[in-house]
């Protein structure tokens, strides 16, 4: 999130909603009468969708492809790079479906398609659960199109993203210690994450996130407020 501005909107999702998007993509694939031999799921965001699509489409051949934007500490590549080359025989001569969770710029899935095409497959098609209007790449199958840009918090990286978001608001807010209520206030102010939205999508998990932040030494316990509420500061 380091390349993002201080204020940006976030949307928190849940498993049921994302599972529904997987079904939407599957239905579109069936309607198009595309019958892939193998699903290539982009790591890590495409793994859940890849497994669901295998179930919906009756496939047992699922491969993973890891893309990354960094070639060294703080050194950003001009385009996404393949982290781990795919084993020989993964896609050669096979009809391939490449799946990822979301296309923001579309760079990762575009590069993944190019990489797979270089390995002499059969037909190659691409899919994403969600597609942002900022993407320059148009997948063949899309579960949902998002006109307004937002950072999507998926269930499989809820803890990871919430730690980044909370650490960020603690760095930006003009105070030293934070209780849970003030953290929720700053999440709403900086990222439009409303308490009710978070509790519907991921109920009762703020304590879990704060405990994990302490374990990872991102924050430290700072005692209680005058009202007796626990509070924390950045480590």
Q: pLDDT tens digit string along 19-72?
A: 999 999 999 999 999 999 999 999 999 999 999 999 999 999 999 999 887 544
pLDDT in tens, 126-168: 999 999 999 999 999 999 999 999 999 999 999 999 999 999 9
* pLDDT confidence of residue 134: 93
Nearest to 222 by CA among 188, 185, 175, 187: 175
- Decide: 108 and 123 in contact? Cβ < 8 Å: no
* pLDDT confidence of residue 227: 93
Cα(61)–Cα(51) distance, rounded to whole angstroms? 10
Calculate mean pLDDT across residues 110-114: 96
Residue 73 has pLDDT above 50, yes or no: no
Evaluate if pTM is beyond 0.85.
Answer: yes
User: What b/e string do you get for 190-219 counting C-beta neighbours within 10 Å, with b at 16 or more?
Assistant: bbebeeeebeebbeebbeebbebbeeeebb
* pLDDT confidence of residue 40: 99
CA 24 centroid distance within chain: 18
């Amino acid at each position: 999130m380091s390349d993002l501005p201080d204020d940006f909107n976030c949307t928190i999702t849940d498993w049921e909603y994302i599972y529904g998007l997987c079904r939407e993509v599957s239905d579109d694939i069936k309607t198009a009468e595309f019958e892939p031999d193998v699903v290539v799921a982009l790591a890590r965001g495409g793994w859940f969708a890849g497994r669901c699509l295998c179930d919906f489409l009756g496939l047992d051949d699922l491969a993973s492809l890891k893309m990354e934007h960094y070639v060294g500490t703080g050194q950003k590549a001009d385009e996404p790079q393949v982290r781990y080359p795919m084993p020989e025989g993964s896609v050669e001569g096979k009809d391939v479906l490449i799946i990822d969770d979301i296309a923001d710029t579309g760079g990762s899935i575009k590069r993944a398609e190019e990489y797979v095409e270089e390995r002499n497959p059969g037909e190659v098609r691409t899919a994403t659960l969600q597609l942002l209007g900022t993407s320059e790449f148009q997948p063949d199958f899309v579960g949902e199109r998002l006109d307004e840009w937002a950072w999507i918090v998926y269930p499989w990286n809820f803890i990871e993203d919430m730690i980044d978001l909370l650490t960020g608001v603690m760095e930006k807010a003009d105070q030293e210690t934070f209780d849970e209520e003030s953290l929720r206030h700053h999440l709403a102010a900086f990222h439009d994450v409303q308490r009710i939205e978070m509790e519907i999508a991921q109920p009762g998990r703020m304590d879990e996130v704060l405990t994990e932040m302490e374990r990872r030494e991102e924050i430290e316990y700072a005692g209680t407020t005058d009202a007796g509420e626990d509070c924390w500061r950045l480590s």
